[in-house]
Amino acid sequence: MNDTQDADEAVDQEWFAVRCVFQYGTHAPFVYEERITVWQAVSFDEAVAQAEAEAAAYADEADRIYLGFAQAYRMFDELGHGAEVYSLTRDSELPPDAYLTAFFDTGEERQGTVDG
């Protein structure tokens, strides 16, 4: 490739956030991890391929299993403070408190609270 081709390819690339899900251990109770990584690519397929290759390497580093689940989001904002790096919408009949409990606050998360 020459410099012009390299510049054209760079212009065509966009930023994608890709969420991959991992399992720790092989015996219950399992710990699951969701990771969101960012990739510069020309398409969703390319971004997911890059993320899944990295996910396989990440899983090999410790007692993790990549579950083969990847969701991609084409980023619209420039990377920086406050940039949206991932968004997922879901239809549900659940009211807000039940929705949050079902999907985000089951009581099994390994998380803390922020004071203030």
Per-residue pLDDT tens digits of the chain, which is 116 residues long: 555 555 555 568 999 999 999 999 888 888 899 999 999 999 999 999 999 999 999 999 988 999 999 999 999 999 999 999 999 899 999 999 999 899 888 888 888 878 76
The dihedral over CA atoms of 92, 96, 98, 102, expressed in degrees to the nearest 10, equals 60
pLDDT for position 44: 96
Q: Is the bond preceding residue 29 a cis peptide, omega within 30 degrees? A: yes
Cβ pair 72, 17 in contact under 8 A = yes
Dig out the tokens for 95 from the structure: 């009211």
pLDDT for position 59: 95
pLDDT for position 116: 66
pLDDT for position 31: 87
Which residues partner with 24 through β-bridges? 31, 64
